C-alpha cells in the first residue's frame, strides 16, 4: 500500500512540471507587408548629360495584433543588375547604366539595407494602430536619380529587379530612429519586388560652324573654304545629314544680295567629288552616333565666274538631321 502512494505522488509532480513551463509563446505584435513598385526613368534626353530624377510609391501595411505602434525598417538590395559602391546598375545585355536610390526628395540620403551598407541605410518608418487595434497603411516614396554623363550608352530598355525587405519587431520595442538596432528585437521580415527601368530612346543634337569665303576683288580664280556640322546622337543611332538646296542644286547654290548673286557649291569631301545636298536628292551624308559629338567638315567652293557688284553676299542653309 505504501508503494502505491509513492507512485501517485511522483505522477502528480510530473504533471505540475508541465503546467508551470516558463517558455509559453508570446502573442504576435503585428503582421506587416509591403506592396511591389515600378520606378521608371523615361521621357528624357540622355545627350544633355544631366542626371534624371524619378520616383515611385509603395505601401507598407501593418495589422496591429498586440501593440499600438512599432517601427518598421525598409531595406532595398542591389538588384539583379548589381552595384558598384553606391551606384546600382541597370542592364541591357552587356550594356549598363548607373543610378542611385534615396530616402528624401532632395536626394541626399542614400537608401540601402543592412546587407548592402555601401548603398545606404534602411529607412525607419513609424506605424501606429487605429484605436484600439486594426490595420494601418503608410505610403512610402522611393526617390531615384539616374546618373548624368552617360551619353555614350546605346539606346534600349535598361532594367534591374530589386527586393524590398520590411523588418519589424516581434517583441516589445521602443520606436527606433536607427534601423541598426532592429536586430535586438527578434525581427520578422516580409518582402516584395521593385522594378527599376530606364527607357533610352533615339536622340540627336546639331550645331554648325559657318563657312566664310573671305573678301575678294574679283572672282577669276577658284575660292575654297570650310565649315562644320557637329552632330551628337545616341549610341548606335544611324543618322543622315541633309543640307537644303532651295530651288538650286548642291553645286549651284547662290549667295545673294538683292538681285545679285555668287554661285557656289557644298561638298562632303576635300576632293570636291561628292556634292552635299538633301536626303531626298540622294546627296546626304550618313553617320552612326556614339553619344559623343562628331564633327563633319563641309567643303565650300566658288568657281571662277562673272564678278558681281561690290557687296556682302550671304546664304542660309538649313541642316536637317534624319534619324
Boundaries of every domain in the chain: 27-200, 204-322
The predicted structure's pLDDT at residue 133: 85
Query: How far apart, in Å, are the Cα atoms of 201 and each of 55, 103, 155, 234?
Result: 20, 28, 5, 8
The predicted structure's pLDDT at residue 101: 98
Spatial separation of the C-alpha atoms in residues 100 and 111, rounded to whole Å: 8
Question: How sure is the predictor about 20, in pLDDT bands with cuts at 50, 70 and 90?
Answer: very low
Spatial separation of the C-alpha atoms in residues 234 and 97, rounded to whole Å: 14
Spatial separation of the C-alpha atoms in residues 236 and 234, rounded to whole Å: 6
Query: Does residue 144 register a pLDDT over 70?
Result: yes
> For the domain 204-322, what is the CATH code?
2.60.40.1090
pTM (predicted TM-score): 0.81
Equal fold, 27-200 vs 204-322: yes
> For the domain 27-200, what is the CATH code?
2.60.40.1090
Query: Does residue 81 register a pLDDT over 60?
Result: yes
Tell me the pLDDT tens digit for each residue of 288-315. 999 999 999 999 999 999 999 999 999 9
144: nearest Cα among 206, 219, 195, 181: 195
Q: Return the HEC string of 216-262.
A: CCCCCCCEEEEEEEEEEECECCEEEEEECCCCCCCCCEEEEECCEEE
The mean per-residue pLDDT over the stretch 14-20 comes to 37
Specify which of 19-33, 121-135, 213-227 reaches the highest per-range mean pLDDT. Answer: 213-227
H or E element that contains 4? helix 2-19
On average, the pLDDT of the chain sits at 92
The predicted structure's pLDDT at residue 26: 53
100: nearest Cα among 179, 108, 193, 92: 108
76: nearest Cα among 188, 196, 178, 171: 196
Indicate the range of 11-20, 208-217, 221-230 predicted with least confidence: 11-20
Amino acid at each position: 500500500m505504501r508503494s502505491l502512494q509513492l507512485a501517485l505522488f511522483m505522477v502528480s509532480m510530473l504533471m505540475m512540471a508541465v503546467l508551470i513551463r516558463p517558455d509559453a509563446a508570446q502573442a504576435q505584435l503585428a503582421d506587416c507587408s509591403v506592396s511591389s513598385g515600378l520606378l521608371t526613368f523615361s521621357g528624357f534626353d540622355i545627350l544633355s548629360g544631366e542626371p534624371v530624377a524619378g520616383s515611385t510609391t509603395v505601401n507598407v501595411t501593418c495589422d496591429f495584433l498586440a501593440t499600438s505602434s512599432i517601427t518598421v525598417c525598409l531595406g532595398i538590395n542591389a538588384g539583379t543588375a548589381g552595384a558598384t559602391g553606391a551606384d546600382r546598375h541597370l542592364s541591357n545585355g552587356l550594356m549598363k547604366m548607373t543610378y542611385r536610390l534615396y530616402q528624401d526628395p532632395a536626394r541626399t540620403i542614400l537608401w540601402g539595407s543592412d546587407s548592402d551598407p555601401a548603398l545606404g541605410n534602411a529607412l525607419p518608418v513609424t506605424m501606429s494602430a487605429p484605436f484600439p487595434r486594426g490595420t494601418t497603411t503608410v505610403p512610402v516614396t522611393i526617390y531615384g536619380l539616374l546618373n548624368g554623363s552617360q551619353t555614350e550608352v546605346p539606346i534600349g530598355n535598361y532594367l534591374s529587379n530589386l527586393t524590398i525587405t520590411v523588418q519589424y519587431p516581434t517583441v516589445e520595442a521602443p520606436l527606433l530612429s536607427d534601423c541598426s538596432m532592429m536586430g535586438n528585437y527578434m525581427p520578422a521580415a516580409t518582402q516584395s519586388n521593385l522594378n527599376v527601368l530606364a527607357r533610352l530612346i533615339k536622340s540627336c543634337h546639331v550645331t554648325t560652324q559657318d563657312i566664310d569665303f573671305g573678301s575678294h576683288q574679283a572672282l577669276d580664280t577658284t575660292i575654297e573654304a570650310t565649315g562644320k556640322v557637329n552632330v551628337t546622337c545616341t549610341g548606335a543611332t544611324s543618322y543622315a545629314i541633309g543640307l537644303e538646296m532651295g530651288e538650286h542644286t548642291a553645286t549651284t547654290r547662290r549667295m545673294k544680295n538683292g538681285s545679285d548673286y555668287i554661285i557656289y557649291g557644298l561638298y562632303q569631301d576635300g576632293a570636291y567629288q561628292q556634292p552635299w545636298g538633301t536626303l531626298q536628292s540622294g546627296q546626304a551624308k550618313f553617320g552612326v552616333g556614339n553619344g559623343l559629338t562628331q564633327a563633319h567638315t563641309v567643303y565650300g567652293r566658288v568657281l571662277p565666274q562673272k564678278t558681281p557688284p561690290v557687296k556682302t553676299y550671304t546664304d542660309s542653309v538649313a541642316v536637317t538631321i534624319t534619324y
